[in-house]
Structure 1
Amino acid sequence: MKALKPISILEKIKLMINKRFLLSIIALITLLLSNYSYSIDVMEKSDDALKQYLWSSSEFNKLPFSEIIERGDPLQASWYVWNKYKRNKDTKEASLYLDNIIEKWDLNREDKLTYKYSYNDLAEGWWSSMDMTLLPLVLISVGEKTANKEYLTIANKLISQAVKSPIEGGSLWPDEGDGCWFSEYSWQGMTKDQEYYVMNGHLFSLTSIKLLADALNNAEAKAAYECGLKGTKAMAASFLNDGNWPLYMLYPETINPPHYLIFEAIQFAGLYDITGDAFYAAQRENRSAALAKYYPIYNVKNTDGEFKFFSALGPPHPYLHDIFDNEIICTDLNKTSSLSRIIGEAKNNRFFYKAITSNAQGDEKCSVYSKYLGVTFKLYETQNFISADDNILNPLPHSIETLFDAKEKNGAIIIDPSIRSSPEGQVSYIDTEGRIKLSFESQELTDNSMIAIEIVSDTRLPIMVTYIYEEKQITRYFVPIEKDQTSLLVISHVGFENANLLSKVSSITITILTDKLTHNANMRVKNLYSLKNQYDLFKLLSENKSEMLMAAD
């Protein structure tokens, strides 16, 4: 074997220098990669984990990006880019969108996103945890693919700001013993006692911060998630509303519209998929149970036979139908008939009449799905169906009393805001309201029962509604009575605070709020109906095609 040539001292020195140079280069590359690389690509998570982002408002898909930017809406802008990039993985297009956002909000200098328009009582310049945690998800994903260090720098800056208190310009209320809470609406000068505590906004940000914590191994994000989880667990029971329909937010207490309850179920399901924490599964089941309870499938029998019925209208807002499409799939457990399927469009079909023919010779199992923008979510599965019939609906006999600014004359009711009912020299609330009390034979209050009142008015009138039985009463604000049409006022006790106080109702008071009324209004109560369930409501609307369900669309 040929002997190896000895290495000279000079060559050894050169090798040592080269080795040190190589190690330095490796260290530098590692350092640079650590600033924009991460171990988990959030965009590669399962659709179940990311469904809250996929289940986005149609506005994010219909509005041109330029209009969103011009308006100055950081959530719509961030969500728009997220959805586009998730679906087409086009880094060049996503980078153009992200650069527009960075320029619009000057994110190379600023540390948070603000809204460039006022919203309700919030002046321009308010901010939200939702976009402060969503935009970093897109920045780190696109930044990884394009080796754009600027994107990660901005993402980390937004995360650091988002997990500060709203008092410091952030979006996370710190732990005071009951965990942390992400604020959907924050503004300059805000204090904690002004927090709305909106569940879906908190969950949205909690999901985002968890994904960021896992992807970046970011200590601030990890701590924020753990504290946010603690806060969610501490506050969860407050949203369940004594076992009735869950609340949308706590201050002021506001019940969920159906589509937001579905969105919460999606969010809890996603968090369970990401974390495996059984707490999230239980909260998702609470929402599913409410949907199954108040939006059940009916088994209807009439002279034509037997069929299944499902309605997108129901408690607690009978006037506000679920905005998402539905799909119902039923299977015959004894396999004596084929699978049945129906898809209904929420905008065009509030009811699924004769949707599923019940031709099975044994037990059936049905699953109800919500569908939106090509994404599907299972609401619940059931083998229990509520019986309904085609019996004729008759008006419920009732008497009418009027009080304060309301006066009855020859069957008509005149609302006169000039009436003063307080003692002379005094002013009170009774000077700014007219009351119409409808009394009738007591009616049982069940999960699906409703009262429907046909009203015609020549003026749009804001109202409150009160259910009364044996000196107990529950009250809630309601949608206004519209003018120049016969409106069908449909009421469910489920939407009331302290709904469990009453098991029956024997009178209903409609309170007309007259403080802003500038002239007399004329109205008439035409008929009153006691509805056992949503199928009764369907029959009433079908028989009275000229009637308008109040605020249904």
Structure 2
Amino acid sequence: MGPYLFGWVVPENFTQGSLEEMAARKDPLRLFVVAFRGLVEYRRDALEDRLAASTRILDFMLEKYEPAVRGDNGIRWYYGNDHGAIKAPWWSGMDAMMGPMTFYAAYELTGNQRYRDEAVKSAKLVLTSPSDGGILWNENGKCWLSEYSWTGIQPSEEYHVLNGHLWALQSLLLLAKATGDAKLQSAYDCARDGVVAQEDRFYRANGTWTNYQTTPLELNPVHYNTLEHIQYLAMHALSGDRAYLQPAKARADIFAAAYPLSLIGKEGSMEVIFSMIGPPHPYWTDTYPVRVSCQVDGQTIERRNNNLYKTSVPLSERLIIKVPVGSRPTSCAVSVHTPLTIPMYERTEFSVEAAEAQPLPLDGATAMLDAASIEAGKVQITPGHVEVDGANSANDEARIVLPLGIPVSDHDIIAFVVKTPQKMDLGFLMEDSEGRQATRYYLPLAAGKENIVMLNRLGFEKNDELGDTLRSIAMRIFTDPAGDDYEIVISDFQKLRSPAQISRWLEGHPNANFPQQ
């Protein structure tokens, strides 16, 4: 049940006021998640108030939730708010399967026959094509459970979101096993074959990271890589199907390579270091706390970071875990807490690493467009500047090209500090030694502060097209032609790889602003 217990649900979520607030959001998945969590806590801890809250939510979903379509053949629940370009009402396989699974679980706990009846009818109701209002694409006997569907959707528009498919697939499996219903079992078999057939599409070409969806291609944030890991483990535990084991292991291995451990120091004062900062978006740190637990001379020494978003805590403390092992450990294990404890990997061999990173020169940096000049990292920004080159129109960006000329791996981080007197919206352009380019936007930088900028090549669109050696990274500062001139300062330009290097670099900027998502 790990995937359905992934994330935080607090006692306050089970009050009447919280139910009304959740109902107002018009998000059926959230309501079913809280209801299912309440059923789990009732069965585990005999908490009668959780059962009462869960059945109150389920009765509401049966009778009153809107938008929904109710009929003799079951209920379809819809989302009442737009999701990006998808206009309400739209629907999802996640709640379309979890809802019936939760109703059936409530039937098993309460004996309420209506819960069972609506569970089976509503699950079967949506086992049609999204083009016909359902959630199940079927292509030559290999099916996909759609996370995002809307009126008029075509097969070519299907996003193919992996965690959404696995979420619905697990509910479908639980329902099929509990009911013995042939139609549910057949749909599960088809959807199982679909994800097995498409699983290799959810990796970057060289296998260094996982994809969130395939259409359009989008990389996983780190916590979705973790979610998929436990989804595959759960599917194997429930089905015994070994086809789910390799994808689970792949995601743990990818996490271990991208978020490794460092051992630093001398015998008697050694430390094991873990960094929350890593691929593919260094500013988008793991949403959940991480624990590092080490075995040293028969004793367990562990540390966990609980202050990930507490800005009063120095960056080198809230984003870095340091385990004071003293001597070389025999093993260290890394786990993520969601609040479930999810073991990710264990390491048994350590060599002492250097904490010094690779400094990069700013000498060869060039200023372009509204960046009028650069000297020793100081850049003059002149938004009113007119580029005399053909059109003779005002520019809308300042561009500073920072030279690299070095190999940069999918696990390396390019870091520097930018001090600016005003808020800056910016993007980046990465270029390899053959002139191929990849782009990305970045979080805004704060005014009047030193801002930490950290880039990983995986976070750039079309990063797969770049060679190993990068020629440069260009910072694009978007400007207003009516704005005043100002000066920014770029400093401490380095390539970082290991957690020890990231930690040391952060310690050099204790008061800097770190734009964090």
Compared CA separation, residues 308 and 145, structure 1 to 2 (3 A): closer
Residue of structure 2 aligned with 1:122, choices 86, 90, 96 = 86
Given that 1:136 and 1:158 are in contact with CA atoms closer than 8 Å, whether structure 2 keeps it comes out as yes
Given that 2:417 and 2:452 are in contact with CA atoms closer than 8 Å, whether structure 1 keeps it comes out as yes
Residue of structure 1 aligned with 2:124, choices 160, 163, 166 = 160
Structure 1: segments with no counterpart, 5+ residues: 1-49
Cα distance in 1 between the residues matched to 2:454 and 2:11: 32
In terms of Rg, which structure is larger?
A: 1
Match of residue 299 from structure 2: 338
Cα distance in 2 between the residues matched to 1:521 and 1:295: 41
Does residue 354 of the first structure (1) align with residue 308 of the second (2)? Answer: no
Is the partner of 2:443 in helix, strand or coil?
A: strand
Does residue 416 of the first structure (1) align with residue 383 of the second (2)? Answer: yes
Is the partner of 2:75 in helix, strand or coil?
A: coil
Measured against aligned partners, the alpha-carbon deviations of 1:387-436 in whole angstroms (never above 9, x if no partner) come to: 432448756343222334443367433263884677449x9xx9655432
- How far 1:108 sits from its partner (Å)? 4.4
Residue of structure 2 aligned with 1:543, choices 484, 508, 511 = 508
Measured against aligned partners, the alpha-carbon deviations of 1:56-99 in whole angstroms (never above 9, x if no partner) come to: 34589658222101222100000000001111144444322211
Match of residue 54 from structure 1: 5
Deviates more, 1:407-416 or 1:74-83: 407-416
Residue of structure 2 aligned with 1:439, choices 398, 403, 409 = 403
- How far 1:520 sits from its partner (Å)? 5.5
Does residue 264 of the first structure (1) align with residue 228 of the second (2)? Answer: yes
Total equivalences in the alignment: 491
AA of the residue aligned to 1:156: V
Match of residue 377 from structure 1: 342
Is the partner of 1:116 in helix, strand or coil?
A: coil
Match of residue 313 from structure 2: none
Deviates more, 1:122-131 or 1:150-159: 150-159
AA of the residue aligned to 1:173: W
Cα distance in 1 between the residues matched to 2:385 and 2:83: 33
Compared CA separation, residues 245 and 182, structure 1 to 2 (3 A): same
Match of residue 77 from structure 1: 31
Superposition RMSD in Å: 2.9
Cα distance in 2 between the residues matched to 1:248 and 1:477: 17
Given that 1:330 and 1:367 are in contact with CA atoms closer than 8 Å, whether structure 2 keeps it comes out as yes
Match of residue 482 from structure 1: 445
Deviates more, 1:93-102 or 1:442-451: 442-451
- How far 1:537 sits from its partner (Å)? 1.9
Match of residue 12 from structure 1: none
**TM-score computed with the length of structure 1 as normaliser:** 0.81
Q: How does 1:303-322 map to 2 (within 5 A)?
A: 305-322=269-286
Given that 1:312 and 1:322 are in contact with CA atoms closer than 8 Å, whether structure 2 keeps it comes out as yes
Q: How does 1:68-147 map to 2 (within 5 A)?
A: 68-89=22-43, 90=48, 91-105=51-65, 108-109=70-71, 111-147=75-111
Given that 1:129 and 1:205 are in contact with CA atoms closer than 8 Å, whether structure 2 keeps it comes out as yes
Match of residue 195 from structure 1: 158
Given that 1:60 and 1:76 are in contact with CA atoms closer than 8 Å, whether structure 2 keeps it comes out as no
Is the partner of 1:480 in helix, strand or coil?
A: coil
Cα distance in 2 between the residues matched to 1:188 and 1:517: 43
Cα distance in 2 between the residues matched to 1:512 and 1:194: 34
Cα distance in 2 between the residues matched to 1:307 and 1:85: 43
AA of the residue aligned to 2:379: A
Compared CA separation, residues 503 and 385, structure 1 to 2 (3 A): farther
Give the percent of matched residue pairs that are identical in Structure 1 and Structure 2. Answer: 24
Measured against aligned partners, the alpha-carbon deviations of 1:340-373 in whole angstroms (never above 9, x if no partner) come to: 222222345534453141425xx61211111123
Compared CA separation, residues 170 and 326, structure 1 to 2 (3 A): same
Residue of structure 1 aligned with 2:418, choices 455, 474, 478 = 455
Compared CA separation, residues 498 and 112, structure 1 to 2 (3 A): same
